[in-house]
Amino acid sequence: MNVELPAASPVVTIVVPARNEEACVGDCLASLVAQTGVAFEIIMVDDHSTDRTAEIARSFAEVRVISAGPLPEGWTGKNNALIAGVKQARGEWLLFTDADTVHLPGSLARALEEAKNERVDLLSYSPQQVVVTFAEKVVMPVIFAELAAQYPPEKVREQGSGVVAANGQYMLVKRTVYERLGGHRTVAADVLEDVALARRFKQVGSRVFFRYGGDAVRTRMYRSWEQLCEGWTKNLALLFIHPVKRAVLLAAWWIVAWVTLPMVFPVLLLYLRIRRAHFGWRTTIVALAFGPPVFAYLLLRSARAYAHGGVTWKGRTYEAAA
């Protein structure tokens, strides 16, 4: 493979935390080792996997595989893994990316150039979401449309807007600033560590750049209804202000759209709202037909879980309040 990976001076250290990701980690690492145009190193942090995740990672000679180590009380597993990876990093920039991502050719060099051109300390992309099953097509467009409404990228990029967002699936940070802020140690207990870290950057006046990054990276987050339900239960109530109110209003909008279907206008408005999530028109129509009540259910489920003290993710329980 044509990989620019000088042993002495990587410009970027890529840190990939992984816990039981045998279904996708191979594709992720293959897309990363094939990057060109910038010197980099890859550290895959095995977060106590019980499947073939570490074995698959070790099959890539260009990837350094390390253990996350013991999980301190109160920390999330992902934060613990990221901190372990940073300890071994040598790059001037750090790219935190998830094991379920696939990176387009040359995207790392382009992202680094964009970060420098925009003069930012944290650059984050929202990946193109790959959906395969009916459940994914129903839910994912609605969720990402609502996220786009809650966190408009142009508002996130405004330093004084008060709107903070980032996507932990792709976060490129300037190391000097990251370490001066204390890095992931300062958000070690946060389930939504990406937004918490971006907030830290903005609070000290560092620039955060956030946009849809389908030209750089794609991901399939969940491969079954069970994974989808558990994952969004973990995140949704933390992402949306007044989750119960939002769930009720969106479900009501959906009902009105169906009841007034011959009038077209309410349906068209809902279609255009969901279309903002960068899915094709066929998937958008499936989401329009079935998605809002399912999103409302997941949002209420997430709010209820946090109201009762915590959520479960990949065999671990995190106690937190939304």
- Residues 153-194 have pLDDT tens digits of 999 999 888 899 999 999 999 999 999 999 999 999 999 999
Higher model confidence: residue 198 or residue 161? 198
Q: Which of 25-29, 172-176, 201-205, 261-265 has the lowest mean pLDDT?
A: 261-265
How confident is the model at residue 310, as a pLDDT? Answer: 84
Which ranges of 206-317 would DSSP assign to H, the alpha helix?
A: 225-239, 243-259, 265-275, 281-307
Domain locations in the chain?
12-127+167-219, 225-311
Q: E strand or H helix at 80, and its extent?
A: helix 77-88
Question: What average pLDDT does range 108-127 have in this prediction?
Answer: 97
Q: Is the pLDDT of residue 247 over 50?
A: yes
In this structure, are strands 122-126 and 208-212 parallel, antiparallel, or unpaired? parallel
Compute φ and ψ for 317, nearest 5 degrees: -110, 130
Question: What average pLDDT does range 84-113 have in this prediction?
Answer: 98
CATH of 12-127+167-219, one of 1.10.1740.10, 3.50.50.60, 3.40.50.1000, 3.90.550.10: 3.90.550.10
Measured distance CA(224)–CA(210) in Å, rounded: 28
At residue 221, the 3 state secondary structure works out as coil
Q: How confident is the model at residue 7 (pLDDT cuts 50, 70, 90)?
A: low
